[in-house]
Amino acid sequence: MQYVATTVDRLLKEQQQQGLKRIYVITTYVIGKERLLVAIHKLTGCKIGVTQQKMDTMKCLDLPGTACATSCLTSWNQGAVHLLEN
C-alpha cells in the first residue's frame, strides 16, 4: 500500500514539474481499496475521484484519520487520481 501511495506521489510531482496532465486510475470491487485511497490522499494531499456509491461506502466504513469530504470528490473533472469499480 505504501509503495503505491509513494509512487503516485512521485509521479504527481514529476507531472507538475513537467507541466503534464495525467490521470491515475485505481480499480476495485465494491469494497477493497479504501485504505489505499486514504494513504494516497494523506501523502499527496490530492482528492480522489469516486462514484457516489463509493463515497457512501467510505462514509459507512468511517476509516480512522480520514473524512470523505476532504479526501474524496464525486466530480470526475477534478483530481488526478480516480477510482473505478468493477
Which backbone phi and psi does 47 adopt, to 5 degrees? -80, 150
Report CA 51 to chain centroid distance, whole Å: 11
pLDDT digits (tens, 9 = 90+) for 48-70: 888 888 888 778 877 666 667 67
Q: What pLDDT is stored for residue 10 in this prediction?
A: 93
User: Which three three-digit cell numbers place residue 15?
Assistant: 507531472
**63: Cβ contacts below 8 Å, ≥ 6 apart:** 34, 35, 38
pLDDT digits (tens, 9 = 90+) for 21-34: 888 888 877 666 77
User: Which three three-digit cell numbers place residue 58?
Assistant: 467510505
Give domain limits for the chain: 2-85
CATH topology of domain 2-85: Rossmann fold (3.40.50)
Q: What pLDDT is stored for residue 27 in this prediction?
A: 80
User: pTM of the prediction?
Assistant: 0.72
Which one-letter DSSP state was computed for residue 78? S
pLDDT digits (tens, 9 = 90+) for 1-16: 789 889 999 999 998 8
